[in-house]
Chains A and B, each alone.
Chain A
Amino acid sequence: MKWTVKDVEVYLQEKEYVDTAVIPLIPLTLEKNVKSIVSMGEFVQIIVNELERQFKGRVFLFPPFTYFTSENMEEKTKRIADWTDELIANGMKHIFYVTSDTEWKAGEANLPGTLLWLPSIPLEHMDEKYKQQIVTDQTSQLMNLLIAKWS
């Protein structure tokens, strides 16, 4: 499900089936590396959208968790932990964070949910067919990780 009224109506009726939250972690900046940061975020958004399409009935895709690249790790970790607590208190059983930002990888051990890190692949100059192939491949890797957690 997505963060839309239409999907939330289904969620409210079928809560017990929707036990997995996916949160994209998206860095922000306006400094000189802005382009690569944007590209990272764009890639992650494409992948999580596809993941949501595959697992619509069980996965709730949340609006992204955003942070300036200058925010220190401790604060970010604290904030994402708060999000996670909130979700778990409301019945979510599996929490996944999806990101291309390597910073999280270093702090992975302090995260209460599961970090799914993807290498960022700039899709903007790729031809359509190749692009689709990459998105399908990356998504299916994430799908396997979710399925493994579920069983």
Chain B
Amino acid sequence: MSDNKHRVSRRQFLNYTLTGVGGFMAAGMLMPMVRFALDPVLKGEAGGEMVAVAQVKDITTEPKRFDFKVKVKDAWYESEEPRSAWVYKDDKGEIVALSPVCKHLGCTVNWNGDKEHPNQFFCPCHYGRYEKDGTNVPGTPPIHPLDRYELKVKDGTLYLGKAKPRGEA
């Protein structure tokens, strides 16, 4: 008797499982819709404004490191993340802002970090090197030049945007 009570009949079983599957399907259908609805908003935000990083008068022909923060939106979580840039004026007097993120595996590179190779950027992780203009030195681990930040100058202040692979910036 009591055995019977607890037994799930075939019909009940099918009912349970089908509701389950149906539930899943509904969720599956809902998710993409939600994503579509949110997408344009996210894109608008991620477009990213430029951030004030330095005063132009502080920029010399010697690369200097400037630290700043950017707002990062990662799905549901918004945070401020630190960034750095190596900034200098090139021979033509134009400002160059390089991303310090090594193109090998992402360590932070330093200007003049290796005494044996002066006037280069040096990556302490696996000894990657780059020329002053960001070109990777062949024979060291990185195989691409350092990214360059999009930049603009307004009222004596340098603003940086996204770091982009060279050729795109």
Binding site for B on A (CB under 8 A): 10, 14, 17-18, 50, 53-58, 132, 136, 143, 147, 150
B82 pairs with A17, CB closer than 8 A: no
B105 pairs with A57, CB closer than 8 A: yes
Q: What is the minimal beta-carbon distance from B5 to any residue of chain A, in angstroms? A: 47
Asked if B153 CB lies within 8 Å of chain A CBs, one says no
Q: What is the minimal beta-carbon distance from A127 to any residue of chain B, in angstroms? A: 14
B123 surroundings in chain A (CB, below 8 A): 57
Q: Which interface class (under 10, 10 to 19, 20 to 34, 35 or more) fits B?
A: 10 to 19
A17 pairs with B108, CB closer than 8 A: no
Given known contacts A53-B82, A132-B67, is B105 in contact with A10 (CB within 8 Å)?
Answer: yes
B107 pairs with A57, CB closer than 8 A: yes
Given known contacts A17-B105, A132-B67, is B126 in contact with A55 (CB within 8 Å)?
Answer: no
Given contacts A17-B126, A58-B105, 10 further A-B contacts (CB under 8 A): A10-B105, A53-B108, A54-B108, A55-B108, A56-B101, A56-B106, A57-B105, A57-B125, A58-B107, A132-B82
What are 8 pairs between A and B in contact, CB < 8 Å? A10-B106, A17-B105, A17-B126, A50-B82, A55-B108, A57-B105, A57-B123, A143-B124
A18 surroundings in chain B (CB, below 8 A): 105
Q: Which positions 46-72 of chain B face chain A at CB distance < 8 Å?
A: 67
Q: How far is the CA of A54 from the CA of B109 in the complex (A)?
A: 8
